[in-house]
Amino acid sequence: MTPQMRNKRKYMEDDEVIVLDHVSKAYGTNQPALCDVSLRIKKGEFVFIVGDSGSGKSTLIKLLLRELVPTEGNVYVLDYNLKKIRHGRIPKFRRNIGVVFQDFRLLKDRSVYENVAFAQRIIQMPGKEIRKNVPKILSTVGLAGKYRVKPNRLSGGEQQRVAIARALVNKPCILLADEPTGNLDPKNSMEIMKLLEEINENGTTVIMVTHNKDIVNAMQKRVITLKKGVVIGDQERGVYIDED
């Protein structure tokens, strides 16, 4: 048993993949971006993180990726205590997590195929596997037949599908999506949501940050609401809490 596994045994239940234990995060001396946040997420859950701009949603995502460390408290993800993880192990830890952003972040001068294959090359997947895995994931996201196209020739919805394929090709346990529909029209947004729901039904834990009330209310999933860095709501099959 590795030290990480012992930590998991101690702080997490077997069916949990994320635990935040009294986590605060302050940037410098400003008011904390997150304040005493505790939450537990089980394997296979679909969770929305909602709240006004500046409420700490992206900070939470960055803590889960170990891009940031908490000022106080502990973050546990899968078998890892992210406060104690050694620097050299962070890349290996991050292989367990796929990430999608509002602005897609694709390589503009590379084809759709190359954008996805790149993620496999980083983890030194053998070429034979890459040639098998990339077409498979591209057809899962509905982009079979667009391999050679460059991202700027695709619609926003298609570009986000490429980003999702890239996030999933290494078969992560957890998918983190920070406002993935923020740049999309309602039709493309709903299609991306269908795709994320399918991915979740296939066993991936999905954590999605969003401002979109219609999406949250339509999906009937768990909703965690942040306000000024504090969790003010956490409902199963929740709705978007309208503050105004």
Query: Is 56 a residue that touches ligand ADP (CB under 6 A)?
Result: yes
How many residues interact with ligand ADP (rule CB under 6 A)? Answer: 11
Task: Please choose which of Mg ion, ligand ADP, none residue 33 contacts, taking the beta carbon within 5 to 8 angstroms, the exact cut-off set by kind.
Answer: ligand ADP
Tokens 């205590």 correspond to what residue?
81
Cα 20 to Cα 235: distance, rounded to the nearest angstrom: 17
**Interface with ligand ADP includes 33 (CB under 6 A)?**
yes
For 40, the 3-state DSSP assignment is strand
Using rule CB under 6 A, residue 232 touches ligand ADP: no
Length of the chain counted residue by residue: 244
CA distance 227 to 33: 10
- Binding segment (CB under 6 A) for ligand ADP, from list 25-33, 123-131, 163-171, 190-198: 25-33
Q: Which of 19, 45, 46, 59 binds ligand ADP (CB under 6 A)?
A: 59
Identify any residues that bridge with 24 across adjacent strands, giving them in sequence order.
72
Helices 186-201, 156-168: axis angle to 10 degrees equals: 20
**Which is nearer to Mg ion, 56 or 117 (by Cβ)?**
56
Interacting span for ligand ADP (CB under 6 A) from 54-62, 129-137, 156-164, 231-239: 54-62
Under the binding rule (CB under 6 A), the answer on residue 57 touching ligand ADP is yes
Picked from ligand ADP, Mg ion, none, the partner binding residue 55 (CB below 5 to 8 A depending on kind) is: ligand ADP
Question: What is the contact surface with Mg ion in residues (CB under 5 A)?
Answer: 57-58
Binding mask 61-100 for ligand ADP (x = CB under 6 A): ----------------------------------------
In whole angstroms, how far apart are CA 128 and each of 125, 154, 169?
A: 8, 27, 14
Q: CB-side exposure of 47: number of CA atoms within 13 Å? A: 25
Strand, coil or helix: 104? coil
Q: Which is nearer to Mg ion, 130 or 177 (CB)?
A: 177
Task: Report the distance separating Cα 59 and Cα 65, nearest Å.
Answer: 10
Sheet of 205-209, strands arranged across:
97-101, 174-178, 205-209, 46-50, 222-227, 230-235
Could you list the residues that contact ligand ADP (CB under 6 A)? 27, 30, 33, 51, 53-59
